[in-house]
Structure 1
Amino acid sequence: MAAGTLHARRRIVLIFRLRAQVTGGRLRLSVTDEGPGFPADFLPHTFDRFTRAEASRTTPGTGLGLALVAARQVAEQAARRGARVGVVDVCTAAVAALPVGGAGLSAMSRSAASHPLCSTDDVSEQLEELQLTLGEGPCVDAFTQGSAVLTPDLLAAEVQARWAVFADAALEAGARAVYAFPLHMGAISPGVLDLYSPVPGRLHAEELADALAFADTATLVLLDSRIDGEEDLAGGWPTDGRYEDLGAYRAEIDQATGMLTAQLGVGAEDAFVRLRAYAYARGRRLAAVAADVVAHRLTFPPGADTDQTDDEA
């Protein structure tokens, strides 16, 4: 179940609760909101895209149908897994509905280390790790700017100039286009939804509208999970090596960052930058470097540059 606020065209607010339940092999999806409700003759069209009830035709931004369509697709993914709705279901539903190769979602913060929450395949997993390790890319810019960052071709000259390191690494990973959508609810911005395509291309207007609806749904699911105090924000992602223990992942990076603040005598932000720089310079995953720091297999002496640690001096 997810609860919260969706923004239709980022202006009109719809407050609702979504519940998915599987009984006898059938999916039952119920939606409860605090609005005026739907006329009985409109109910069969509730999940039709771009459909308006007669009473809403004079109200700008209402009746788009996209939010409920996205919610239904996400609930269907959760029902197939037999689990509570999680952000992994948003990513999986987005890949099924849009012309993309994969999706990933990262929790972002201006005051703490960011971390990946889920990914649908190896390429999207690498893209999430790359951007958080390098500190550059569509995901980082979308979070910083608070608006979608659409990159239809990573080989474009302006993209290569903007993200010189990330662009080449993303191409090597198998991505050719990347579309990043920040998660928003008022002043809260808890993360970014990333979509990638193995071929260059732009999202058409309807596809872009669908992607924004999935981003809004991800916001609801993520914030609802945090309110309920769940550790498994991804919603039970299978343990195949892809962020199977998110609580430990986050805790280890945070712990390693804290240890570096003491070793280097710097603030948490600078310590995290050093951690990321070391991981990138060695071509290692951020989580693996953090694990070495926590286990005291790796230390950073004050004044040493990124290319030298006590273990290598």
Structure 2
Amino acid sequence: MDEDNPGFGDPMTSDRRLRLWAVLADAARGGAVAVDHVCATAVAVTGVDSAAVSVILDATPRELMYATDRTASELEDLTLTLGEGPCVDATTGGPVLVADLTEPECRNRWPVFAPAAVLAGAGAIFALPLRVGGIRLGVLDLYRARVGDLGGEQLADALVLADTACAVLLDEATRPGGDRDDHSPERTGLRHPEVHQATGMVMVQMGVSAAVALIRLRAYAYSQDRRLHDVAADVVARRLRLEPAGTSGDRNG
């Protein structure tokens, strides 16, 4: 399931890179290649149904940069809320390739995420880390409704696109603001700034680290069957205050 070395030959060949870059350039229509073009190309060449790119930030483990459709957004939201799944594991290891989310191994490894992802429409997930040397940038997540592995050529293309996504993210981070091509409504940077704000508020209120504050927010969201960003919005709006363990409980209003 985890693939440090997929074993399908060398995906980083010049011919493959040139072919995929031509597809990306065509998708960009003369503009700068961005993460949405990488995701769209990944869907086109790998046979998956949707794709997303998330980045790793200090305040939270990941932040969605772009998703090709509502299903991808829903699955990324599940990952953020639950804090488990292939896309989480890929941030600290190699590619995590899950051909069938209904397998017992998946339910044992991700007991909450796996069944929820299946209900959301995912049969298979392929999570590819975005990494430059020892620097972890994020994850390229590929989602497919039907079960089954990626073919060797499809996986090789996906790995090249993950490498390309790294270059795109680094380029966008260093490009002057006026030079950004932000015509796409989906390319909005931080999707849920309230999660970061709420994490900071809970840190202060409870006197804990950012990691513990995020765990507390997630635990509350899970116990109430709510999404993390909705709970965070209530915290930021002061409709909800999370209390330290051992007190009378969390308060609304």
Partner of residue 83, structure 2: 135
Structure ranking higher on relative contact order (CA contacts 8 Å, 6+ apart) = 2
1:149 aligns with 2:88: no
Distance, in Å, in 2 between the alignment partners of 1:244 and 1:74 is: 16
In the alignment, residue 78 of structure 1 is paired with which amino acid? A
* CA drift at 1:108: 1.6
Instruction: Confirm or deny: 8 A CA contact 1:85 1:235 kept in the other structure.
Output: no
1:182 to 129, 140, 150: 129
In the alignment, residue 168 of structure 1 is paired with which amino acid? P
Structure 1 unaligned regions, length at least 5 = 1-8, 11-49, 51-59
Partner of residue 76, structure 1: 26
Distance, in Å, in 1 between the alignment partners of 2:88 and 2:112 is: 14
Instruction: Give the total of aligned pairs.
Output: 246
Structure 2 unaligned regions, length at least 5 = none
TM-score norm. by structure 2 comes to 0.87
1:301 aligns with 2:243: yes
* CA drift at 1:223: 1.1
1:100 to 39, 48, 51: 48
In the alignment, residue 127 of structure 2 is paired with which amino acid? A
Q: Percent of aligned positions with the same letter in both sequences?
A: 44
Instruction: Confirm or deny: 8 A CA contact 1:100 1:196 kept in the other structure.
Output: yes
* CA drift at 1:308: 4.5
1:246 to 166, 173, 189: 189
- CA deviation map 1:250-289 (0-9, x unaligned): 5322211110001111101110111122223333332222
Instruction: Confirm or deny: 8 A CA contact 1:183 1:216 kept in the other structure.
Output: yes
Instruction: Confirm or deny: 8 A CA contact 1:84 1:235 kept in the other structure.
Output: no
Instruction: Confirm or deny: 8 A CA contact 1:151 1:179 kept in the other structure.
Output: yes
- CA deviation map 1:232-261 (0-9, x unaligned): 9995432xxxx66434x3532221111000
Instruction: Confirm or deny: 8 A CA contact 1:176 1:198 kept in the other structure.
Output: yes
**Partner of 2:112: helix, strand, or coil?**
helix
Instruction: Confirm or deny: 8 A CA contact 1:183 1:189 kept in the other structure.
Output: yes
Structure 1's 234 and 274: CA in aligned 2 closer, same or farther, altered over 3 A?
Answer: farther
Distance, in Å, in 1 between the alignment partners of 2:75 and 2:65 is: 12
TM-score norm. by structure 1 comes to 0.71
In the alignment, residue 226 of structure 1 is paired with which amino acid? A
* CA drift at 1:138: 0.6
- Taking the TM superposition and a 5 Å limit, the aligned residue runs for 1:253-272 are 253-272=195-214
Distance, in Å, in 1 between the alignment partners of 2:246 and 2:17 is: 51
1:311 aligns with 2:252: yes
Distance, in Å, in 1 between the alignment partners of 2:179 and 2:236 is: 22
1:200 aligns with 2:200: no
* CA drift at 1:78: 1.7
